[in-house]
Amino acid sequence: MISARLLAVVSATAWTALASLASAQTPAAEVQTPADTYQELFHQVQTRRLFPDGKTFVDAAPKRDPAAILKAYRAQARFTDAELKRFVRANFVVPEAGAMPAPSAARTTLKAHVAALWPHLAREPVKPVAGGSALAMAKPFVVPGGRFREIYYWDSYFTMLGLKLDGRGDLVESMIDDFGGLIDAYGHIPNGARTYYLSRSQPPFFYAMVGLSEATDPALVKARVDLMRREHAFWMDGEKTVAPGKAYRRVVAFPGGAVLNRYYDDRVTPRDESYREDLETAREASLATGRPPAEVFRDLRAGAESGWDFSSRWMADGEHLKTIRTTAIVPVDLNSLMYGLETAISAGCARIADAPCVAEFDGRAKARKAAMDTVLWDASRGAYLDYLWTGGERIDALSAATLYPLFVGAASPDQAKAVAIATRAQLLASGGLRTTTRRTGQQWDTPNGWAPLQWVAVAGLRRYGETALASEISDRWLATVEREYQASGKMLEKYDVEEAKAGGGGEYPLQDGFGWTNGVTRALQEGR
């Protein structure tokens, strides 16, 4: 572990090195984040851990001109921790975690409890403050809860499942419009609506959100198809020029012309919201292998783009975060969602009678499915596996991502049957679907199960007629959620599916709320 004293002592050389990494970004990373704006002040606050959660300061809003705050900080040669905390509170509005209703002794039904939570998670439009990290939101939206105070990309699809069932189609439509506004403003949907998330996206579920809409206005349909095409272009940037065996941003080229996707981030610095933790991981990696910090930072950030932050999926040794190699991997889930996006664009273009677009995206989807069958399908394992493109081999580690091709309809009937057999044998636990088969202490590994993965699995299995397994996963997961709700009165971010209790691991305490658990719970209840 790095001592607080070591991290807090910033030599001119050390700060210059971090600043030089920040200056070597791609154009997509040009928007100022709190680290860019507050520089040494930011470094000191985050490395001294003035706030237990690294997300607290990056979500703070300045009370006056940011340049004046930084100048005032620099005018004082040294701060004790107590003085620095007073300085921060004097100059910033420091946020608190959103409070959920206190659990009552008398438990209502899960359905009623979820319906009662939506007003606590709904937020009004956001007008950013200069020097703050919040991005503009033109319409009302729903947050996950707890420390997650802003809208998040892939969370929102699963949240919308419940909103729609609870008669909140208005929020579904306004959230789709908010995400469309982000694509308009930045060319993609960021991880979440903060400046420090802009250099990365998250699993591309926007097309699935649009699929929940009941809008029929031809102009709106066309506008949303155009937005999906812009998002597709973001993920495929560089596809025309990247050489076989190479990668550029989020695309990886294979011999023969196939192009698949990987997770990536346009910055090579520590994540603002996990700054101290990333410095420590990079230090451990450097001591172990001499690996450059910029590579480690990029892979940590790419792991955050995946939504699986963090998991043995991304680790070279399958155990330790210091071996993270996210950008070296072509993932099953991302490429499945890209197939889903391509088929959705084709269908949308058919609705607006754009024949050339239909032909293009039909062709893209067929090419991607063929590439997935060649690169990601492992007949001997009866599963889709992630692919190490830098090593030219599949990674022999099963995860719940293997069910994504079923979710988007990219599997053949025989492949789906094989995946169902592998899922039952290795991923089905007494309390729901395991995330992976590895126990590492990371939150996206066993024994944890996550609401979005339960939904992807159940929906995918049902799509291929594997209804018995789908029902087992659904029933076991709902029993886990119900058991914890009866015990604590809470809807949690994640659960231990081995023991049907609250989940653990990760970079922050277990969160209550919780948007995607609420949405998936309602959707699974409705599907019984």
User: What would the 3-class secondary structure string for 444-490 be?
Assistant: CCCCEECHHHHHHHHHHHHHCCCHHHHHHHHHHHHHHHHHHHHHHCC
Task: Please give the pLDDT value at position 30.
Answer: 75
Find the DSSP H helices in 243-392. 275-289, 293-306, 332-351, 355-375
Mention every residue, 6+ apart, whose C-beta is less than 8 A from residue 514: 144, 145, 146, 451, 491, 492, 493
pLDDT at site 455: 98
Higher per-residue confidence, 21 vs 451: 451
Average pLDDT over residues 215-240: 97
pLDDT at 168: 97
510 pLDDT band, cuts 50/70/90, is: confident
| Residue range 55-98, pLDDT digits in tens | 999 999 999 999 999 999 999 989 999 999 999 999 999 998 66
Cα–Cα distance measured from residue 26 to residue 268, given in angstroms and rounded to the nearest whole number? 10
Average pLDDT over residues 165-180: 98
Predicted confidence (pLDDT) per residue in 298-310, tens digit: 999 999 999 999 9
Active-site residues, by number, are: 309, 493
Query: What's residue 5's pLDDT?
Result: 42
- Residue 23 — very low, low, confident or very high, per pLDDT cuts 50/70/90? low
**Position 491 pLDDT exceeds 50:** yes
Do residues 352 and 218 touch, judged by C-beta distance below 8 A? yes
**pLDDT tens per residue, range 412-432:** 999 999 999 999 999 999 999
CA-to-CA distance for 263 and 444, rounded, in angstroms?
A: 16
447 prior amide bond cis, ω within 30: yes
| pLDDT averaged over every residue in the chain | 94
Domain limits, the chain = 114-215, 406-528
The pLDDT assigned to 13 comes to 45
The residue-averaged pLDDT of 357-366 equals: 98
Name the DSSP class of 433: E
Q: Which helix (H) or strand (E) covers residue 234, if one does?
A: helix 218-235
